[in-house]
Amino acid sequence: MRQYTGVDKLIQSFDQALRSLVPGATSAHRENPGNSEKAQLGVKDARHVAGLMRVNHSGEVCAQALYHGQALTAKLPNVRREMEQAAIEEQDHLAWCEDRLKELDSVPSLLNPVWYSLSFTMGALAGVAGDKYSLGFVAETERQVSLHLMDHIGQLPESDKRSLKILEQMNEDELHHRDTALQAGGVDLPLPVRITMTAISKLMTKTSYYI
């Protein structure tokens, strides 16, 4: 198996960042779960759903960055593979949210490069702290993402079954990633870390809805 140098890894990280941030650069491996559904929305509802999907898209950008950062610094090969596989699965979510934004004549958040940078740094630091903390970071992240998704599902207009199917599948995947991380040895993070993660998540949610 090829051994990658530090420069190779940096180039790979830059490529991963571009794929996560440039619209249309990421394609889904699975069919969009909302393809079989239709949605008839008025202007006000469409604007609200676009805001929700923009937040969810930013959340998936953050997830990509977290996994890429953790994979870069993970110590055990099996943990690194887990992070890389999770990032691939999260690509589907990124593409699905982007597709829905296009359908709603909207665009991803302009702040995504900021969220990617912050999340990549946090993920890399978690990897440096040790694999059990890195896995615990994944579990806590996915728990918080699931809470956001459930909240957004409750806010969707009843007629928007298309967005509903997407968010339901995303939530199912996030919970699976959380359980996988815990089963692999993830530990609970210190309270200050969890509080910081929640604060950053709330900031991202409030700003990405509009910008």
Q: In this model, does residue 50 exceed pLDDT 80?
A: yes
Establish whether 176 is an annotated binding residue. no
pLDDT digits (tens, 9 = 90+) for 157-173: 988 888 999 999 999 98
Helices (H) and strands (E) in the chain, counts: 7, 0
What pLDDT is attached to residue 65? 82
pTM of the model: 0.81
* Sequence ranges of the domains in the chain: 42-208
Residue 163, Cα to own-chain centre: how many angstroms? 16
What is 42-208's CATH number?
1.20.1260.10
Establish whether 60 is an annotated binding residue. yes
pLDDT digits (tens, 9 = 90+) for 6-35: 555 556 655 566 566 666 667 777 888 888
Establish whether 140 is an annotated binding residue. no
Establish whether 177 is an annotated binding residue. yes
What pLDDT is attached to residue 22? 66
DSSP 3-state of 44:
helix
Establish whether 93 is an annotated binding residue. yes
Q: In this model, does residue 75 exceed pLDDT 80?
A: no
